[in-house]
């Protein structure tokens, strides 16, 4: 497993963790947004631009949810 794969594994694991704990606080929603941004970076770095694009949209949606939850 190379560093790029480890980065992707970290991003997806963080997304799952933060998504599961979103009801516990706004910080997990923001964490989910950050993890989606990392997933987007991973998608673009590996050449899967549709994945990178969709994850970027999810990051924006999550930041909006975090902002509105205030």
Domain definitions of the chain by residue range: 3-68
pLDDT at res. 1: 86
d(CA 57, CA 22): 18
pLDDT at res. 70: 76
Is the overall model pTM greater than 0.85, yes or no?
yes
Q: How far is CA 33 from CA 15, 26, 38, 69, in A?
A: 8, 11, 9, 14
Mean pLDDT confidence for 18-26: 96
Averaged pLDDT score across all residues of the chain: 96
């Amino acid at each position: 497993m190379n560093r790029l794969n480890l980065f992707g594994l970290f991003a997806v694991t963080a997304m799952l963790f933060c998504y599961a704990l979103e009801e516990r606080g706004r910080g997990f929603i923001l964490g989910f947004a950050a993890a989606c941004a990392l997933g987007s970076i991973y998608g673009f770095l590996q050449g899967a631009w549709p994945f990178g694009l969709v994850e970027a949209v999810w990051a924006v949606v999550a930041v909006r949810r975090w902002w509105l939850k205030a």
